[in-house]
Amino acid sequence: MTERYARIVATGSALPEKVVTNEDLTKFVDTSDEWIRTRTGIGERRIAGPGETTASLGHRAAQQALQDAGIKAGELDLIVVGTTTPDLVFPSTAALIQHRLGANGCAAFDVNAACSGFMYALGVAHQFIRGGQYRRVLAIGAETLTRIVSWQERETAVLFGDGAGAVVLEASDEPGIYASLMHADGGYQELLTCPVGISSGFTDGPNHGLRVQMAGREVFKVAVKTLDALVGETLKAAGMVESQVDWLIPHQANLRIIEATAKRLNMSMDRVIVTVDRHANTSAGSVPLALDEAVRSGRVQRGQNLLLEAFGGGFTWASALLRY
Ligand code: COA
């Protein structure tokens, strides 16, 4: 019997129009372009405007991916959206996007794994296709994280941006995703959190207490160590060695974290897709945005092996090794 793989047949992405540079941020928070660039690699970010939401960005990314795949929305079996900033409590962002696409009737749900959200969505898509239940799945990572950033707090305000990316996956007897891995450790809640919610309640403070809180230095250390182990585990699960990976497409939180992972893989930075300089950290949006940009620029080619990975609040961490 031939093996059944989940194969990415097309990608798409969407960014808000509004560009906010580091220099722009210095007008209302005590920071500098030099500090932000040297510590993070970020130069600018996109910020969602009044009419833009996680679902609208995810919808635009999905439309582009479906168009490039030559697949009609009605042919989808599942839409899974990785997001931590859904439009509403319910319906899910996946259901909102499903209706806008006109894919009514297929399965649709969100996964919340913070910055690893798209990698979790991809893992879910992989398993549903590999297991034989579904043939065509749309996996999206979409966020408007700037809506939960406190613009007065320089430790976090400079780090985030908004955006979305999408991939269409199809069942194929050609690879395909070789391995996808997911992990979480809820014991790290205090280091990276948005500390209010429906069930535990909101506060009377600004934005009802909705704000990203992060112990940056501690998160940095755990991220580097965890991603180091994750890429090793991913290679092993796929039965591959470092030299077989053509491109590293990492979560875009901090250029120094990306460089550390590339070093672990013995990869020079010209084989690593970097968008953090222009997008900042778009959480679940970052990996599919980087993938789509790499595909559209012609750097990533059919037949190449891609290692995708992410780390985020939870903590969560997840990866995939696939032939594009
Ligand atoms: N502008 C200017 N100075 C700032 C600043 C800003 N935006 N934010 C913090 N500082 C200051 C601090 O107050 C501190 O000052 P002090 O030395 O006088 O106390 C100094 O810069 C160093 O702060 P520190 O937090 O130790 O810096 P860092 O080198 O660890 O860099 C991060 C901070 C957030 C960039 C870095 O820790 C990081 O990227 N962490 C991981 C973040 C991440 O990936 N999060 C998402 C996971 S999905």
Give me the DSSP letters along 23-86. Answer: HHHTTTSS--HHHHHHHH---EEEE--TT--HHHHHHHHHHHHHHHHT--GGG-SEEEEE-SS-
Q: Report d(CA 77, CA 128) in Å as an integer.
A: 10
Chain length of the chain = 324
Alpha carbons 51 and 195: distance in angstroms, whole number = 26
pLDDT of residue 138: 98
Quick one: which atom of ligand 1 is closest to the CA of 158? 7
Q: Which domains does the chain have, with CATH numbers?
A: 5-174 (3.40.47.10), 179-323 (3.40.47.10)
Residue 215 DSSP code = -
Residue 157: other Cβ atoms inside 10 A: 18
Bridge partner list, 134: none
Enumerate the β-bridge partners of residue 12.
166
Spatial separation of the C-alpha atoms in residues 16 and 52, rounded to whole Å: 7
Ligand 1: residue of 20, 217, 276 to mutate (most ligand atoms within 8 A of CB) is 217
Report the chain's terminal Cα–Cα distance, integer Å.
Answer: 23
Whole-number Å distance, alpha carbon 239 to ligand 1 midpoint, is 37
Q: How far away, in angstroms, is 216 Cα from ligand 1 center?
A: 6
pTM of the prediction?
A: 0.98
Looking up tokens 């809640």, which residue turns up? 189
Question: Given this model, what pLDDT does residue 1 score?
Answer: 67
Amino acid at 54: T
Residues near 234 by beta carbon (within 8 Å), at least 6 away in sequence: 179, 181, 307, 309, 319, 320, 321
Q: How many CB atoms lie within 10 A of CB 35?
A: 14
**35 Cβ inside 6 Å of ligand 1:** yes
DSSP tally for the chain: helices H, then strands E: 10, 13
Per-residue tokens: 13: 């992405």
Tens of pLDDT along the chain (324 residues) come to 689 999 999 999 999 999 999 999 999 999 999 999 999 999 999 999 999 999 999 999 999 999 999 999 999 999 999 999 999 999 999 999 999 999 999 999 999 999 999 999 999 999 999 999 999 999 999 999 999 999 999 999 999 999 999 999 999 999 999 999 999 999 999 999 999 999 999 999 899 999 999 999 999 999 999 999 999 999 999 999 999 999 999 999 999 999 999 999 999 999 999 999 999 999 999 999 999 999 999 999 999 999 999 999 999 999 999 999
